[in-house]
Amino acid sequence: MAAKPVAKRLVVLVSGSGTNLQALLDAIETTGAEAYGAEIVAVGADRAGIEGLARAERAGLPTFVCRVKDHGSREEWDRALAEAVAAYEPDLVVSAGFMKIVGKEFLARFGGRFVNTHPALLPSFPGAHGVRDALAYGARVTGCTVHFVDDGVDTGPIIAQGVVEIRDEDDESALHERIKEVERRLLVDVVGRLARNGYRIEGRKVVIQ
Ligand code: GRF
pLDDT tens sequence across 149-202: 999 999 999 999 999 999 999 999 999 999 999 999 999 999 999 999 999 999
Helix ranges (H only) for the chain are 19-31, 33-36, 51-58, 74-86, 104-110, 130-137, 172-197
Is 180 within 8 Å of 20 (Cβ atoms)? yes
Task: Find out whether the beta carbon of 16 lies less than 6 Å from any atom of ligand 1.
Answer: yes
Instruction: List, in order, residues 6 or more apart from 64 with CB less than 8 Å away.
Output: 42, 43, 44, 45, 84
Whether 95 has a pLDDT exceeding 90, the answer reads: yes
Ligand 1 center–CA 84 separation, angstroms: 22
Whole-number Å distance between alpha carbons of 206 and 209: 10
**Quick one: CATH architecture of 118-209?**
3-Layer(aba) Sandwich (3.40)
Confidence bin at 2 (pLDDT 50/70/90): low
Residue 125 carries which DSSP code? Answer: S
Say whether 63 sits in a helix, a strand or coil.
Answer: strand
| 118 CB near ligand 1 (under 6 Å) | yes
Is 118 annotated in the active site?
yes
Task: Fold for 1-110, please state it.
Answer: Rossmann fold (3.40.50)
Residue 1 pLDDT > 60? no
Q: What is the CA radius of gyration of the chain?
A: 17
Rounded Cα gap, residues 204 and 148, in angstroms: 10
Evaluate: CB of 20 within 6 angstroms of ligand 1: yes
Query: In testing the pocket of ligand 1, which one of 20, 40, 178 has its CB within 8 Å of the most ligand atoms?
Result: 20
User: In the chain, which residues fall in CATH 3.40.50.170?
Assistant: 1-110, 118-209
